[in-house]
Structures are given as structure tokens and as C-alpha cells.
Structure 1
Amino acid sequence: MNRPTVPRAPLTVARRFTAAGAQAWPAETLHYDGAWAVRLSSDCAARRQNCVTPLDPSDDADIAARLDRVIERFANAGKRPRFLIAPLASQRIVDALSERGWTTEARTTIQSRDLDGWSDNDTPELRRVKADEFVAAHEAIGARSVQRGDDLRAILARIEPPSFLFLLEREGQPVASVICVRQGDLVGSFELNVSEDARGEGIGKELMRGVLAWAKKRRASGVWEQVETDNAASLGLSRSLGFEPVYDYYYMSAPDGAA
């Protein structure tokens, strides 16, 4: 079995996107153990809202005791302990998790698209809606967050940067949805969902073309997104629109009965 290693990227780039991801999809509670950000959410099952994210590769002292505290905190919350391993993590943390039998899961790539060269004069019209209508459409589409049982209204209410909820509709009915979050000169695209009975028709590409056009009109320098590396369709969509990889990250989860 290959030994898990810390992904590589310039630390300034990793810090920017780590902070942007946390702000765009914030956890219910946030606790710091040194430079380990401990995120927990009773209203959401998503990994990124229930994980420990190391924020400084030099902060790897006293790992054993700190891991014990993390495990206890997650157990008290009824959550499985997880670490998000990105370029800001120390290899010593990864090695310590491996020695305890923690396993890797959900490798994800951050992709970005510079808007300087983007030109599309025939983009579909996206409709911006308020939270209640967006949640209702999300449910009608059968979005992943709905299937997880997340309280999307609570999550949306926690987002502090300017956020924009968009629907793509056909014959007055929502067929796709996406959340965009503006952070400085970047726009993050999250929770892109396409109705199951409309998949394979290019709806996702239409939606993202609309996002890129909207972001450029608002003078953003680029759009970024997170895509799981085993999602071939989403990766293909990103490549077709000119997105390029920034860096990968993955999660390490504790075995059952971790102690």
C-alpha cells in the first residue's frame, strides 16, 4: 500500500484556497488546537464541515495527545473523526494517522479558471433566487445535500462573504442549481447539482457557462471549484471549460472505535 503523503503547492496558494473554502462553506462550530482548525456541524454531514484542517505545516508537536483530544471531541459530537490533508498539513501528522489505522478517502482537486480569456456571447440565463426558493429547488432537483439530510437554510445563513444562489430552469422548472461565493477577486462555485432526469444533456456545462459569464461581468479575475477526482463527468466538464488544477487534497478518517 502506498504511503499517504502531503499534497504540494505554494503555501500562499494553499492558504488562500483553504481560507476561501472555509468561509464559503462554514461549519457550525470552529475550535482551534494550535493551528489545527476543528470544524463540527450538527446540521450537516459533509466532510468539509466535520473535519480537522491543519493550517501550518510546522505545527506538528505533541501529536498523540492532540489526536486523543480530537477523537474525544468528535465522539462527543457523534461524528467520525477526520482530517483534511492539504499542503498546509505536516507529513508527521499524516504518518501518525496512518500508524493509528486511519485511511484516506475522497481525494478532491481544486480547479480554477482565469477569466481574462473567457468569451461567450450565448450564455444561458441564470436566475438568482433567495434562500427559501433555492432550498425548495434543491429538494426538487434531489441535490446531494438533501440526500445527506443537511439543513441547507442554516448553512446558507452562516456564509459571510457575498453569496449568490442560482437556478437554471427549463419550462419554468429548476433543472440545475449552484451556489456562488464572491471572495475578493475570485468567485467560488459550490454544490452544483443537476436533476437526475436531465443528466447527460449538457445542463451542467450550461450552468457553469452562465456562472463564468456572470463572474466576468462582475470583474472577477477567476472562478474556482472543488471536484472529487473519481468524478469523471465533473472533471471532464471542468476541462472542457478551461479549468486547470491548482492542487489536490484528501481526507483521512479514523477506523471504527478509534481510540
Structure 2
Amino acid sequence: MTTPAAPATASAVPMALIRALEERSFNAWPARQNVLHRGWVFRISGGYTKRANSVNAVVPGAPFDGVREAAAALYARHGLPTVFRISPLAPAEADQELAEAGYRHFDPSLVLHRPLAAGALPPPSSGVIVTATPPDAWLSGFAAANGVAPHHRALHRSMLDAIAHPTAYALLHADGLAVGFGLAVLERGAVGLYDLAVAPEHRGSGRGQALVQALLHWAAQAGATSAYLQVRQQNAAALRLYDNLGFKPAYGYHYRVPA
């Protein structure tokens, strides 16, 4: 297998593209509450997923003075830890101040990106069903495959229902069982891939590739000209899969979490 390319540096990627992908990702994975604060957004969703419960820059180079204190007060009010997601939109002093305040560097991740052409994608596997809304088998199967805690399952469903843009849910069957799950969200000609999961006993058998190809096919047919997704840097198997499917690093981000 090929080795994934090294992450692109922020200076190598147009800031306009980074901002557009960040905006799409916020819309595709909506928080229950959003508080805007001087070029930053505090996202609050009852503790389900870091992305939906973190502080994010939304304006390139937004000033950071006072942001840490304001965020800490707000998240404490909601009984949540103050988690920062540091993307290239955040100024360097934000990461430095958080490090000096004892916030731990955590979960470095990549945003991957690729172009799409409608005629260049294979049709989806016959074992994959794509629907506009999630069937019950998708919801229960994803929760089991991805380890969603029972008390978070209703919250997860409410966040899916809150997605404003067109969606596609891919459900893969094997031996009569639902074993693969994926979500695509289409906005402004770009499709984002989320909630990609395969039941543990079926991993490493091409199920993930079938899911991604089915969602990309749907997106290209719907008019998408590019695709993006987010993946942890330490997930070597996923990085190989996405590299083989034509995804390349656009930029990286990481979290800062309280010690």
C-alpha cells in the first residue's frame, strides 16, 4: 500500500479554502448551541463529541485575549470541560497561551480533500443502500459499531435531524446484517463524509471502501465537485484507505484539553 502524503502546511493551502471547509464542517455537524465571541464560536452539545463541544476560531487570526476566560466560564455553566479545537484559523498565540495555562495537546487530526468528477466514480456496491434519512438499522447499528453510549443516542439523533443541508446515509449489509455506516452532507458543491463506521468483526475486509465509494457516487450525482473528511493522524489504516481513494491532506488541527 502507498504511504499517505505528509500533511500540507497552512501556508501551502489557501486560507479561503480552509475557512470554507471549516464552515462546512460546522454546518454538517451542528452543535445544539452556538455562542459567537469575537471571531470564535463556543459549541455546546451536551458532551457528545469533542467537535460539537469545543471552542473554534471562525475568523482567520481572530484575537484571543479574554477568549480562554470567557469560554471557561461558559462551559463551566453547562457542566462541560473547556475544550479548544486549534485549526489554522486560530492565531499562534492562542495555542501558546493554552499550553502555558496547562491545556494538553490532544488528538492531532487531518482534514483530507479530493476533487470529484461525476463520470469517474464506480457505481456503489449492491450491498450498500443510500437513503436521505437514517433508517432505524442505521441508527442502532452505528451506535453499536462506534460505541455511542446509551445516554448519548437520543442526542446523536437530534444532531442528525438538525443538519440543514442535503444528506445521504449509507448502510452496508453483509450476511443479512447491517455492518457498515456512513453519512454524507452536501453544501456549496463539496460533500463532507462523517460517521463512517464498520462493525469491529468486519473491519479490514473492504467494507469501509465500499461505504466511501457509495457516498462519493451519490455526491457526484448530486453535483458535488469535491469531497472532504476528517481523520485522526494516528489512524494509519484509515489514512491508507483514504489515500488509495484519492484523498490528500489539506490541513491539520488538534485539540487543547484541560489537564
| TM bucket normalised to smaller | 0.7 to 0.9
Deviations 1:131-180 (A, max 9, x none): 352212323x4224457834221111111111111101123321100011
Alignment-derived partner of residue 128 in structure 1: 130
**Contact map agreement 1:132 1:153 (CA 8 A) in 2:** no
- Decide which moves more: 208-217 or 75-84: 208-217
1:225 equivalenced with 2:226 (yes/no):
no
CA contact (8 A) 1:144 1:193 kept: no
Q: Secondary structure at the match of 2:81?
A: coil
Q: In the superposition, relative to structure 1, how do residues 236 and 118 fare at CA in structure 2: closer, same or farther (>3 Å)?
A: farther
Distance 1:154 1:98, change over 3 A: same
- Percent of aligned positions that are identical: 25
Aligned to 2:111: 110
Aligned counterparts of 1:148 and 1:82: Cα–Cα separation in 2: 21
Secondary structure of residue in 2 paired with 1:174 = strand
What RMSD over aligned residues (CA atoms) do the two structures have, in Å?
2.1
Q: In structure 1, the residue corresponding to 2:246 is in which secondary structure?
A: coil
Partners of 1:56 and 1:35 in 2: CA distance: 5
Aligned match for 1:154, one of 150, 155, 158: 158
Matches within 5 A, 1:70-89: 70-89=71-90
Q: 1:176 to 1:60 in 2, by over 3 A?
A: same
Q: Which amino acid is 2:146 matched to? A: A
- Cα distance 1:223–1:58, how it changes in 2: closer, same or farther (>3 A)? closer
Contact 1:36 1:55 in 2 (8 A): yes
Listed as ranges, the matches of 1:59-98 within 5 Å are 59-60=62-63, 63=65, 65-98=66-99
Distance 2:258 2:187 in 1: 33
SS of aligned partner of 1:131: coil
Q: Aligned partners of 1:57, 1:10: CA distance in 2, in Å?
A: 12
Taking structure 1 as reference, are residues 118 and 100 closer, same or farther at Cα in structure 2, changes over 3 Å only? farther
1:238 maps to what in 2?
242
For 1:3, the equivalent position in structure 2 comes to: none
* Distance apart, 1:210 and its partner CA: 1.6
* Alignment match, 2:20: 16
* Alignment-mate amino acid for residue 83 of structure 1: F
Match of 1:52 among 51, 55, 60: 55
Task: Indicate if the aligned counterparts of 1:7 and 1:249 stay in contact, CA closer than 8 A.
Answer: no
Q: Sort the Cα spacing of 1:80 and 1:228 in 2 relative to 1 into closer, same or farther, 3 A.
A: same
For 2:146, the equivalent position in structure 1 comes to: 143
Q: In 1, distance between residues paired with 2:31 and 2:202?
A: 31
Decide whether the 8 Å contact of 1:107 with 1:249 is kept in 2: yes
- Paired amino acid for 2:51: R
Aligned length: 246
CA distance in 2, matches of 1:152, 1:246: 27
Using the TM superposition, name which of 141-150 and 25-34 deviates more: 141-150
* Deviation, structure 1 residue 120: 4.3
The one-letter amino acid paired with 2:50 is R
The normalised TM-score by structure 1 is 0.88
Q: Does 1:191 align with 2:205?
A: no
Question: Unaligned regions of 5+ residues in structure 2, if any?
Answer: 1-8
- Counterpart code for 1:199: R
Counterpart amino acid of 1:232?
A
Letter in 2 for 1:58: G
